[in-house]
Structure 1
């Protein structure tokens, strides 16, 4: 019997694929990349057409040895790495190491890890796509050239441990520019006027917002009220009313579901709905793609390939979705046609959108086999995909215009007559403009033209314009995608890198530029404008796409960038003065030696240290007080950042109250003055994703036991966050 060796990237993926192939197949994993450029030197011969020097990665020696031994015993070798640039490059490196002809039919790919997809791929092997591999190679070498030449410059001119890169430096500048825009924002005053009216019954009262005036030709002109005096003129004109209905416009409209997830929109939605970081989202999505152990079914991949720009959907998936919709909701909730979505360009059509791969595995049915986070993300993908093939939401709309003494007021309302896809995936609340104070959605009673409206109340409201919001991970990813910066696989590692480098920091979900981020970005902007230029970086991404499509030679792309960049680096070595990064002073003195105390950055965040280090080793944590008091002794509460669980905080007593030996500690914030009605223990605020609920702090309390039994009927693998 002939032996066929199939090489994938991860053990989880190999275990899943192993279920679908016979005993004559041996499946093993390369554990990702096996070769890369050396870390000790540039590894690129810039004088000879940018020839790269690849070496076996540190720690992969045994993997390579084992692969070679297995390859010698195999009659056929199939490279089944992921179906993208990175996967194609790994396949090419494997072919080089195992001495496989890249032009031979040694490469197989599948968009989903299902029995039919894997077996179909086995039947149709192909040659390695060198355009794809070269696009990855060009990106890797380009990033090496930028990082290897810029990072040492930053070490020399600012401080050790810094880095720069094509995508990370642009992402940092996007955050910095937004923060600068917010800092420079000058609020402008404006006024709103709201009128509470009724056609005759107080039960039918509704709110009209002031809009403008009627000019001589009968046209309505919008009126911006800039000050109290402007608002008072309107109030005086309206007096005690009444208002007369000028027009009632009724209509209908439909709201269509969003497209299925791409990598970018999945990260954005998981951030908004679940509170996941982009890194966490991609890690969990990878688990769902490679396969998890499902009770009674074995190792099973639950979603299609997770790195995609495409919103294309296969016919089989559409039919499976429609069958579920009809069974669960009824045929009226299912579209009578295949709802299709358009990609921005043809280059994005290599894969399908992210969708479920086993429509017989409803998230709720397999919840006990998934961790809490796996379940949440799988449910999100499942619901979003089913919604794409559901009927549109139907609404009745009404717009009312009423006036008094030439002053025009308006209100608009919507009534859902058929929920359609909203029964499953309600995205209306998030996307409606909640700040539209002038014309919010109101509940409007039956009205007729010419009807008199009694004025129950009228008031003016002072408002101020607000600056654009700080970026979050979700909105930064959206901006990167819109600007054409990076690709789906780069968003999460880019944000992780600039957080780790302390170029940006998180305040809750908000991303804020740091002083270090400003210094590095300003230096790059002044001396390497192309590196932080949005259009240049986007153009470079387009050129890499052209390499992938076979329209451009990868060496030519590098040659169009590197000589000029290298000249800039050499000039900067001489022209840039060393930047002194002054640590922030606390204004206090060291209790050990009398030196100044400074704020410093450490592995686990900011702390306070003596300026005379290393002669004086005094340090202290930064004291942050939480809202509320210790439920045991009434003292204050301190907030601490966990060293074991990154970005997780806990609370302790400050021991300055009635009991200096109080040992109170909790992962959850106590609710001030609230105690459990059943056992008397203090109550805490327990967070679940974006929501928070009061819970008894006593785990053995009957209230917690009841909730635990109710919620876990399903999830044997759920881990308590504590």
Structure 2
């Protein structure tokens, strides 16, 4: 029988088990902790609500019925076995509600089998110092944070598992509706109506080229007969040109103004997603995927380094250690741009402030230093994070704007030139392209000088209506309205796209016909449930659950009782439109000769044989005749094999290889007869153009507004 001393020595030799969420994070942390620690990954949630049923006991305080997630039993069993052999278990899932719930379930599962010490560790960055500090100061699981996650999970389950069957019965099998996603869909659909209802108005601008010696510059008409000019058409512009064409031109005023430009705070999740969308063209989902990689660890030479802090945050707070490090770096590299004291940024009231802002873990790891170790996209995202953080602790920039006014008869022209004369924080923002940096080099001029007009440039414009939402603008709107939280912005967009309620077109979010149908029903029958203010209030209540100010079962009861009554009423009284969306067509099934029906499917409208189920033939709805000479094929929507990107090609492929990435519409060019496609650019906004490269027809918004009826946009499947 071994002595007590031998048993104690054997106990001490055991390793501590650290459980994180992802293998990449496990690999980085295990290297930091070294001997005496084993780091394993749970791969996210191992225990959750079953997918096959509601699993919420609404009559007994909404108690959930949790099960082991399908396919995850082996991972859970291995972690339990590893825990049995360990001296202690440290649960290191992400420091947010979902992470706390993962830790809570793991603790309960392990405790149900083995008596081993289990503690929670949290950290905001994956660096040796932060990891070792968290291990030395373990804590208990935050039950209030777990309750907030539980309340959100149950609330979303109650909404989804009650609304979805209603949609199956009244619209189409397989549809689903989510609590927060439905609100986002409502915003997108309402914006689409604004876009469609907008009627563009024509207006003109007038520029003039002026000459002084060897210098030439362009100024814009800003005043005519002491009033702002109303240039509604070409005739009004030509009239002004005729009146001032031979007038003497003289500089009447020169104003010089200076402006202070303040640096912006480090990134929150939403601001990072917006910047990455606007500057890098990233979707919100892509931004978060790359940020996760930078957070969990990148191999820099022989070391694996977590390059940024936790990327789900709504706070701009920075730790004292990080402030000291960045100020030291600035003092060495840009001493003249170091402010006397650290700059503090105000934290919004609704921010939870659980984490710091998103920042580099080591400011000495400059983008240039780590570039060779990163992919192109990792480098681009890391660069804007690093630059934003470092610049946030530098002095203001200063710009000087010179504005020159030129009188030509009764017309006043103006030209402005801006120059940044104190770069300040701009010195570290190499990727910045801003209007403050643009400067028009003008010759030295003084009041009273005479100038010569070289030419006039009248230009036609059309007023631009409201823009469709993009990833950046919908995230901005959701944040401003208090809908969702940093961890949910990207999933909200992804769910709408995955369900095909929304598609992307020119980086804009456009509701499909299926999305519009779902939205119309939900808005009409459940106006309060998908109301923006109501949803924002729910978010606030979830925050109060986390702050232990309200009890989660009471919160759910207040919501669910009237909601369930409304669901039952709608289920009984709403007329079904199931099958009414199907339409007969002139197309014939090539397999059996029966007529084809236009049907609404998971991915929009498609053609299906009316002989179903005897004949199961389906195909895409043709959008246009193939423009290739001698080809009798039709253009249909297709998707690339890899990324699933939509394009449009001929049904006679591979005999005919015609393709276009612009969506055809149900209209022909009035000039050459070939079909029109949808296009978009900043100058013209949304417009239609001829597919024929030899035809210069461009269909503007103004012309579209004058048409007797709108052109139909068809959603098709591959």
Common fold, TM-score beyond 0.5?
yes
Give 1:521 shift: 0.5
Any stretches of 5+ residues in structure 2 without a counterpart? 1-11, 663-718
Secondary structure of 2:206's match? strand
Aligned to 1:339: 343
Aligned to 2:644: 647
Q: Deviations over 1:12-69 (max 9, x none)?
A: 2122111222422222222211221222322222222222222222222222222222
Aligned to 2:418: 414
Aligned to 2:157: 144
Aligned to 1:40: 52
Aligned to 2:492: 494
Give 1:482 shift: 1.4
Alignment of 1:374-413 (within 5 A): 374-413=378-417
1:371 aligns with 2:388: no
Aligned to 1:180: 193
Structure 1 residues 257 and 640: alpha-carbon distance in aligned structure 2, compared to 1, 3 A threshold: farther
Structure 1 Cα separation of the partners of residues 416 and 465 of structure 2? 27
- Determine if contact 2:50/2:66 at 8 Å carries over to the other structure: yes
Structure 2 Cα separation of the partners of residues 322 and 76 of structure 1? 39
Secondary structure of 1:349's match? coil
- Determine if contact 2:46/2:102 at 8 Å carries over to the other structure: yes
Structure 2 Cα separation of the partners of residues 558 and 351 of structure 1? 28
Secondary structure of 2:111's match? coil
1:51 aligns with 2:55: no
- Determine if contact 2:93/2:99 at 8 Å carries over to the other structure: yes
Structure 1 residues 46 and 379: alpha-carbon distance in aligned structure 2, compared to 1, 3 A threshold: same
Structure 2 Cα separation of the partners of residues 600 and 271 of structure 1? 35
Aligned to 1:686: none
Aligned to 1:286: 292
Structure 1 residues 638 and 369: alpha-carbon distance in aligned structure 2, compared to 1, 3 A threshold: farther
Aligned to 1:251: 257
Aligned to 1:582: 581
Structure 2 Cα separation of the partners of residues 116 and 3 of structure 1? 20
Structure 2 Cα separation of the partners of residues 447 and 626 of structure 1? 60
Match for 2:429 among 417, 425, 430? 425
Match for 1:264 among 247, 270, 291? 270
1:320 aligns with 2:325: yes
Secondary structure of 1:155's match? helix
Structure 2 Cα separation of the partners of residues 539 and 90 of structure 1? 26
Aligned to 2:691: none
Alignment of 1:414-493 (within 5 A): 414-425=418-429, 429=433, 443-493=441-491
- Determine if contact 2:260/2:397 at 8 Å carries over to the other structure: yes
Secondary structure of 2:421's match? strand
Give 1:109 shift: 0.5
Structure 2 Cα separation of the partners of residues 363 and 634 of structure 1? 53
- Determine if contact 1:206/1:444 at 8 Å carries over to the other structure: no
- Determine if contact 2:647/2:659 at 8 Å carries over to the other structure: yes
Structure 1 residues 204 and 393: alpha-carbon distance in aligned structure 2, compared to 1, 3 A threshold: farther
Structure 1 residues 203 and 186: alpha-carbon distance in aligned structure 2, compared to 1, 3 A threshold: same
Equivalences, count: 647
- Determine if contact 2:626/2:650 at 8 Å carries over to the other structure: no
Give 1:578 shift: 0.6
Aligned to 1:240: 246
Structure 1 residues 118 and 567: alpha-carbon distance in aligned structure 2, compared to 1, 3 A threshold: same
Secondary structure of 2:311's match? coil
Give 1:601 shift: 6.8
- Determine if contact 2:367/2:386 at 8 Å carries over to the other structure: yes
Secondary structure of 1:374's match? helix
Give 1:121 shift: 1.0
Structure 1 residues 500 and 661: alpha-carbon distance in aligned structure 2, compared to 1, 3 A threshold: closer
Structure 1 Cα separation of the partners of residues 380 and 531 of structure 2? 37
Structure 2 Cα separation of the partners of residues 498 and 266 of structure 1? 21
1:224 aligns with 2:205: no
Secondary structure of 1:394's match? strand
Aligned to 2:104: 92
Secondary structure of 2:524's match? helix
Structure 1 residues 420 and 145: alpha-carbon distance in aligned structure 2, compared to 1, 3 A threshold: same
1:118 aligns with 2:131: yes
Match for 2:531 among 530, 533, 536? 533
Aligned to 2:182: 169
Structure 2 Cα separation of the partners of residues 27 and 105 of structure 1? 14
- Determine if contact 2:419/2:439 at 8 Å carries over to the other structure: no
Superposition RMSD in Å: 3.6
Give 1:268 shift: 2.0
1:64 aligns with 2:76: yes
Give 1:418 shift: 3.9
Q: Deviations over 1:232-252 (max 9, x none)?
A: 554455342223333211122
- Determine if contact 1:114/1:301 at 8 Å carries over to the other structure: yes
Q: Deviations over 1:550-589 (max 9, x none)?
A: 2222222212211111110010011111114525776433
Aligned to 2:302: 296
Structure 1 residues 47 and 668: alpha-carbon distance in aligned structure 2, compared to 1, 3 A threshold: closer
- Determine if contact 1:412/1:444 at 8 Å carries over to the other structure: no
Match for 1:23 among 19, 35, 51? 35
Structure 1 residues 170 and 238: alpha-carbon distance in aligned structure 2, compared to 1, 3 A threshold: same
Aligned to 1:612: 611
Structure 1 residues 427 and 411: alpha-carbon distance in aligned structure 2, compared to 1, 3 A threshold: farther
Structure 1 Cα separation of the partners of residues 178 and 498 of structure 2? 14
Structure 1 residues 397 and 472: alpha-carbon distance in aligned structure 2, compared to 1, 3 A threshold: same
Structure 1 residues 587 and 465: alpha-carbon distance in aligned structure 2, compared to 1, 3 A threshold: farther
- Determine if contact 2:625/2:632 at 8 Å carries over to the other structure: no
- Determine if contact 2:650/2:659 at 8 Å carries over to the other structure: no
Structure 1 Cα separation of the partners of residues 436 and 256 of structure 2? 20
Give 1:483 shift: 1.4
1:277 aligns with 2:317: no
Structure 1 residues 661 and 162: alpha-carbon distance in aligned structure 2, compared to 1, 3 A threshold: closer
1:591 aligns with 2:603: no
